[in-house]
A = this chain, B = another copy of it.
């Protein structure tokens, strides 16, 4: 398997997004510890400072809290908070950008809808 990182965004940003997704999905529950900096660093073969930088972003967002000597933990209420914040980002920036993209490509909203439903069917049937 090739590296799971693309070069369109810094690794620490991608890692932050990944952890945020896991929290929003409930795969990492509130109160739980997030995988340790050293563990992620070793498993993903990336520098521990890169991992710490990703976690620090989530600390700044009020999603994670650091307990000295213990690790980083998901705060209570973090899941809802994250989803609200990400939905706002989505509607404010990503949806308008998507609309522009459709316009330039000469594609309709219906065509996008069809493509999304196609993926939905594919996922459900496995």
Contacts and interface: CB of A to CB of B under 8 A. Distances in A.
Interface size class of chain A, counting residues whose CB lies under 8 Å from the partner chain? 20 to 34
Q: Which residue, of A9, A99, A101, A102, has the highest number of chain B Cβ atoms within 10 A?
A: A99
- Interface residues of A, dominant DSSP: helix
A116 B99 contact: yes
Interface string A81-120: 0010011001100111011011011110100110111011
A95 B116 contact: yes
A22 to B, nearest CB: 9
Contact of A101 (B90, B106, B120): B90
Interface of A: 8-9, 21, 24-25, 83, 86-87, 90-91, 94-96, 98-99, 101-102, 104-107, 109, 112-113, 115-117, 119-120
8 contacts: A83-B105, A83-B106, A86-B104, A90-B107, A95-B116, A98-B98, A99-B119, A102-B116
